[in-house]
Amino acid sequence: MSTALSPYRRGVNLFDSFRDDMEELFDKIFSSDGTNGQALKAWAPRVDVEETEKEILVRADLPGVDPKNVDVQIVDNVLTVCGGKEEKEEEIKKNYHRTERFVGKFYRSISLPAGADTDKVSASSANGTVTITISKRPEAQPKKIAVTPKA
């Protein structure tokens, strides 16, 4: 699937960098948490959506995020993946002491097609990717119709 034509995944282009810079600027100006956008950063994970005959697969790239910190919900046929990540890196050398922190929340919502069976959903995590599997209702699955020759 081409990322340029897919409504579910942003392609990498000139506007991604510009958009990221503008979001950072607005975070710094309008942050209400008193941090000026420095310590608390919101981000949207990359998400791939694949539809097969029997199910919808959603894969969210969440490297370094503990699966216990991921919340998956479906409300009004909208799948929401959200949570948080906290990293701390510290380096102590003879002449200096450096500490860097990253604290961020993520949030991603995806509208599900009408045939999605929101009662049959599972989620798993492996290698920094959360995979959500949503079954399709039987009436939404394709039906094979046999063609018989006419005598």
Looking at the DSSP bridge assignments, the partners of residue 7 are: none
Tokens at 150, concatenated: 């006419």
For the chain, domain boundaries: 14-140
Q: What is the CATH number of domain 14-140?
A: 2.60.40.790
Tokens at 120, concatenated: 């049959």
Q: Which of 82, 101, 83, 99 is nearest to 91 (CA)?
A: 99
Report if pTM > 0.75.
no
Per-residue pLDDT tens over the stretch 17-71: 777 777 777 766 665 544 444 444 567 889 999 999 899 999 999 988 889 999 9
For the cut 90, the answer to whether the pLDDT of residue 123 exceeds it is yes
Per-residue pLDDT tens over the stretch 72-98: 999 999 999 999 887 778 888 888 888
Contact partners, residue 34, CB within 8 Å, separation at least 6: none
Do 130 and 70 meet the contact criterion of CB atoms below 8 Å apart? yes
Q: What are phi and psi of 15, to 5 degrees?
A: -75, -20
Any idea what DSSP says for residue 79? Answer: E
For residue 67, the Cα-to-chain-centroid distance in whole angstroms is 13
Please give the angle made by the CA atoms of 117, 111 and 60, to the nearest 5 degrees: 90
